Amino acid sequence: MTSDHKVVHLNHGAAARTGETALQVRFRKLANERLLAMLRHMLDQADDALFERAEKAGSNQEQQVYFEAMREVRRGRRELEDRFQERLEAAHGGEALRRQPAPENDDPDGLSLVDDERLEEELAIDGMASKARTRHSRALDELCQRLNEDAGHKWANADTNPADPQRICGALEEAAAGLDMAIQPRLILYKLFDRYVISELGGLYQELNQLFIDAGVLPTIRPRSPRTGQQSRRAPTTPPQSGQAPPRSQESEGGAEISGRDAEEAFALLQNLLAARREPGEWSGTGYQGGGWSPAPVEDVLQALSGLQSEAPAAAEESGDNVVHLSPDALKQRVRQQLSGGGGSPAHLGQAEDDTIDIVSMLFDAVLEDPNLPDSIKALLARLQIPVLKVALLDRAFFSQRNHPARRLINEIARAGVGWTESGRSGTDPLYEAIERIVTRVLDEFSDDVSVFENAREEFRQFLEEDRARARQIEERTRQAAEGKARVDSAREQVDAVIRERVGGRQLPECAHRLLHEGWSQVLFITLLREGDDSEAWRKKLDVVDRLVWSLDPKPDHAARKQLVSEIPPLLHDLRADLNAVMFNPVEMTKLFKALEQEHIRALSRKQDEPAPEEPVSVQPEAGEPAPDPDADAPELPVAGGEDELQAYRDRLDQAEIGTWFEFRQDSGKHLRARLSARLNGGDRLIFVNRAGFKLADRRRDELADALRRETVLMLDDTMLFDKALESVVANLRSMRDAR
């Protein structure tokens, strides 16, 4: 891809340097000499890097792309070096750069391809610059102060400093625009520049600052706060201890481009996405373009935030709730007021600090919009906004490391909070009190030691362990009771089914119907529970059903009638013995046996094709029959949308792990949250308990699937709240960038 005219000059011709001091001349020459030397070293490595990629190419076509890029770099190297040096010189003359709009293209598909490649290239350039700006923010700030001091007026800032990483990366972008190569080798060239030039800027900035120091220009600049050293603040989070689960693979998560990256690189990516949504010259907390002032040191910003942090509990008490979630603009204004001491013009924030406030605010917006968390728990989490913001300023690993102590604490609170149900008595609930205590501890103790979050999480984890231990005992009893009930219900269903099967389509007299469904069903039920359906006792009890039904059929001949006469006494004996064993009402049994005797007499005298004199008896249970449990035996519900739609919700239920939280929405408007505790009857029956382990619901699989479809029951997600919030922020920023 040819990338001509990617950057255009706003001021053509050589930049005038009227008023350039002798020290600035030395500054310019030193910076340009060092950068050109680093570029040449980078180009020396380009040939080998492109050749290595060509050797690993998966096709001849791909290999040819890299070989052509090698030839192009060799051919255009001298011109590239000259243009790079020219653009560095122009930067010292104050010449501005801006990217040219995408070229017109009549082919929509072709234009889309150009746009995608240009976007990828711009992200690579901006990513390098943002990462370097963040990494060397202090050195750049001091360099701008010394440039301004030497000139006698404020002119150098992030936008106008000739040695700023953005200007250096922009010089490369324009210099490389003349190389005719595809996007893949072009990105490799940028990665080499990042490795051999951008990553070495720390030494250059130290040398440039020393140049001014040696000349007596601001030899000392107010040191950073002695509370903690830079190394301790920026140290990466300690690795997981033995027995801890390592952070999940970044390939398995939607926010893979953030988590797992180098801390500064991850933050730079977030800054790039954030910058893409701003209009040129938009106020962002660091002033308009070309403001010409120095931002407050990060230590002063942290101190200002600590002042606001101490006010958070009081502010919550005065407002009557626990929500202390400031918008980014409001928070920046309060920080600037703290920095100015309450009087005079508010101080200014640096770009990194300003962006961090925006990013953390967006994260808390995503957290507080999560539908899985009750409002009261969200209110407690909102109070952690300022402590978390301080963590993000102290340790960029907060954005990139899943096991960062602050992130783990937020995730732990959220996971526990999902199971909390609003009751109107938050202050007396042990879980709510524990979360409030942990939040208060962080607000009271956290200054700049991130281990406060780990200690708070350990305290909260111990509470949860004790709480879960109590709940496990209750839940185990609940599960055992539910299993027993499920076994009973299953046995009743099996008994009813086997009686229906053996009666078939016959129209039984009322006395026989009642004997089977009110009396003998209990005999079968007890036998099934005690002996099982593969036992001899069970088979004998079923044989009694067959014998009773046969005894009521018309007998066509003398032999059959003779057999019936011989079968009636043992049948009545077996019926009476087992009905007495289950304590069937003896008075009722006597009445039914007398009626049965009359039916046997009719059977002996009736021809096979004569209809029975009695009306057919309904096969529905009589009023005296025990009513089924409404939870366990809910009727099949009509499914709007068809069986295929319901099957999708069945599949969701089947995939839900034991311990998954559900929300049951009642007609009264009250919402109950319960955790899946057990699957019974082959998964057809699901048992739910509350946080204390007591049973809240017992639902059939199809009933629950239909409730999910109608959204009267919701399946909640209690996994990694912070990670979901970060993924949401990244996705939203990308969407905003792509929409521009």
Does 534 score more than 50 pLDDT? yes
DSSP string over 700-714: EHHHHHHHHHHTSEE
Segment 496-511, tens digit of pLDDT = 999 999 988 888 899 9
39, β-bridge pairs: none
pLDDT at 548 over 60: yes
Q: Residue 738 and residue 519: Cα distance in Å, rounded?
A: 74
Compute CA distances 102 → 120, 181, 280, 736, whole Å.
13, 18, 17, 18
pLDDT band at 231 (very low <50, low <70, confident <90, very high): very low
User: Is it the case that residue 111 has pLDDT exceeding 70?
Assistant: no
Picking from 553, 550, 552, 500, the residue whose alpha carbon sits closest to that of residue 524 is 500
- For residue 311, give every residue at least 6 positions away whose Cβ sits within 8 Å of its Cβ, in sequence order, or none: none
Residue range 242-261, pLDDT digits in tens: 333 333 333 333 344 565 55
Q: What is the reported pLDDT for 93?
A: 79
Task: Give the residue-averaged pLDDT of 683-696.
Answer: 83
Q: How confident is the model at residue 116 (pLDDT cuts 50, 70, 90)?
A: low
Prediction pTM value? 0.51
**The pLDDT of residue 195 is above 70:** yes
The architecture CATH gives domain 643-716: Roll (2.30)
- Quickly tell me which residue has 């996971």 as its tokens: 415
pLDDT band at 481 (very low <50, low <70, confident <90, very high): confident
Report which of residues 615 and 186 the model is more confident about: 186
Give the model's pLDDT for residue 164: 94
In this predicted structure, the answer to whether residue 638 has a pLDDT above a threshold of 60 is no
Look at residue 16 in the predicted model and tell me its pLDDT: 40
138 or 107, which is more confident: 138
Let me know the angle formed at the C-alpha of 137 by 360 and 395, rounded to the nearest 5 degrees: 40
Percent of the chain scored above 90 by pLDDT? 25
For 36-50, write each residue's pLDDT tens digit: 999 999 999 998 999
pLDDT band of 466, cuts 50, 70, 90:
confident
pLDDT score of 561: 84
Q: What is the mean pLDDT of residues 170-186?
A: 92
Which range, of 187-191, 223-227, 294-298, 529-533, averages the lowest pLDDT? 223-227
Q: What pLDDT was estimated at residue 453?
A: 93
Residue with tokens 């739910």: 688
Q: Is the pLDDT of residue 477 over 70?
A: yes
Cβ density class 180-212: b for 16+ within 10 Å, e for less = ebbbbbbebbbebbbebbbeebeebbeebbebb
Q: Which residue has the higher pLDDT, 657 or 77?
A: 77
Given a cut of 70, whether residue 602 has pLDDT beyond it is yes
Highest mean pLDDT among 16-30, 76-90, 474-488, 704-718: 76-90
Section 143-154 average pLDDT: 90
pLDDT confidence bin for 26, thresholds 50/70/90: very high
Does 32 score more than 90 pLDDT?
yes
What are the boundaries of each domain within the chain?
7-220, 297-449+725-739, 481-605, 643-716
Residue that is written with structure tokens 């403001």 in the block: 291
Share of residues in the chain with pLDDT > 70 (%):
77
- Which of 88-102, 191-205, 516-530, 674-688 is least confident? 88-102
> What's the confidence (pLDDT) of residue 606?
59
Residue 391 pLDDT greater than 90, yes or no? yes
More confident residue, 2 or 375: 375
Residue 286 predicted with pLDDT over 70: no
Per-residue pLDDT for 613 more than 60?
no
The mean pLDDT of 193-207, rounded to a whole number, is 89
Q: Hey, is 246 helix, strand or coil? A: coil
Mean pLDDT over residues 387-397, rounded? 90
Element at 736 (helix H, strand E): helix 721-739
For the segment 396-425, what is each residue's pLDDT rounded down to a tens digit? 888 888 889 998 999 899 888 888 877 655
Spatial contact of 495 and 524, defined as CB atoms under 8 Å apart: yes
